[in-house]
Amino acid sequence: MTSNNNNTANDSLKAGPLNNVLLDVLAQKSSWQLLGKSVQRKACHCQNYHLDGRFIIKLFRFPENEILDNTWWIIEHTILSLINGKWGSPISHGYLSFNQDTYNIVIFVRERISGNTLEESNVSILNNAQCKEVGELLANFHNDGIVTRDCTLGNLLLNTDNTLCFIDFGKARSYKNKTLLFFFQAGWDCWKAQWRCAKLEPRLCEIMMNAYWAKLDTNKYTRALYNLMQKITRRQQLMRLKKRGKLPDYI
């Protein structure tokens, strides 16, 4: 097994920075325990494991000739490294890629946070206090130029201190400069959280967004941009849901 630095089909497939935790976790492969179902995304096979309740390991396998349009684990590792454990998010221990038989394998290791995701606990909608927490979480991310792009009940974990944390940065993006695209994505983030976690219930959305605005660092100019992008996204998405007959009757 070698760490892969010169894969021809996937120039972007690089070995991450090696460290002892990563190598230790790999050495204990026989003790990894399966977590949930495996997921097949096109030709890629993805499976989650945990080790000793301390590490979450994502194992990703795809044919070696498959050209990837998204090396999400690199983005996820980079963003988790930027966050560095703030706001309850897991620490990333890095990733490793190598070639085995006719497959490329990627192993991505994160700290395991004890608790369950809201989806695993069969929560179908946030309560008032959780809406406030999610609003504040999103504002913290946005203040740091990070958009989650996937704020759903399956990606929010209620940890043993009874606080909510966001655990899945596979679709997240980080912006050094707050460009128009950032404000657009931030608006989308707020929409998705209201839609998927508060089911567009007006009172819950109001609590979430009040907490969001209270925590958000803005000046007159950026506040107007955040606001505008939120309104545009909301309008567009409400129309889309209406067309598909999925608009809740309380909207």
Ligand X SMILES: Nc1ncnc2c1ncn2[C@@H]1O[C@H](COP(=O)(O)OP(=O)(O)O)[C@@H](O)[C@H]1O
Return residues touching ligand X (CB under 6 A): 35-36, 39, 48, 56, 90, 110-113, 117, 120, 154-155, 157, 167-168, 170
Count CB atoms within 10 A of the CB of residue 42.
Answer: 9
Q: Which tokens hold the place of 120?
A: 């695993």
Q: Which tokens hold the place of 128?
A: 């008032």
Measured CA to CA, the distance from residue 125 to residue 203 in angstroms comes to: 12
Q: How far is the CA of 113 from the CAs of 61, 195, 242, 249, in angstroms?
A: 24, 25, 38, 37
CB-based closest residue to Mg ion: 168
Q: How far is the CA of 20 from the CAs of 26, 27, 96, 126, in angstroms?
A: 10, 10, 12, 39
Segment interacting with Mg ion, rule: CB under 5 A, options 5-13, 18-26, 79-87, 151-159: 151-159
168 binds Mg ion per the rule CB under 5 A: yes
Measured CA to CA, the distance from residue 227 to residue 21 in angstroms comes to: 43
Q: How many residues make contact with Mg ion (CB under 5 A)? A: 2
Measured CA to CA, the distance from residue 147 to residue 95 in angstroms comes to: 22
Q: Which does 48 bind (CB under 5 to 8 A by kind): Mg ion, ligand X, none?
A: ligand X
Dihedral sign, CA of 143, 146, 152, 154?
negative
Q: Which does 66 bind (CB under 5 to 8 A by kind): Mg ion, ligand X, none?
A: none
Contact 130, 208 (CB under 8 A): no
Q: Which does 136 bind (CB under 5 to 8 A by kind): ligand X, Mg ion, none?
A: none
Nearest to Mg ion of 119, 206 (CB atom)? 119
Measured CA to CA, the distance from residue 101 to residue 203 in angstroms comes to: 55
Partnered with residue 13 across adjacent β-strands are none
Nearest to ligand X of 110, 142 (CB atom)? 110
Nearest to ligand X of 136, 168 (CB atom)? 168
Segment interacting with Mg ion, rule: CB under 5 A, options 10-18, 38-46, 78-86, 167-175: 167-175
- Shortest reach from residue 79's CB to ligand X, in Å: 12
Nearest to ligand X of 167, 190 (CB atom)? 167
155 binds Mg ion per the rule CB under 5 A: yes
- Shortest reach from residue 150's CB to Mg ion, in Å: 7
Segment interacting with Mg ion, rule: CB under 5 A, options 64-72, 133-141, 150-158, 221-229: 150-158
Segment interacting with Mg ion, rule: CB under 5 A, options 92-100, 137-145, 148-156, 231-239: 148-156
Task: Give contact residues for Mg ion (rule: CB under 5 A).
Answer: 155, 168
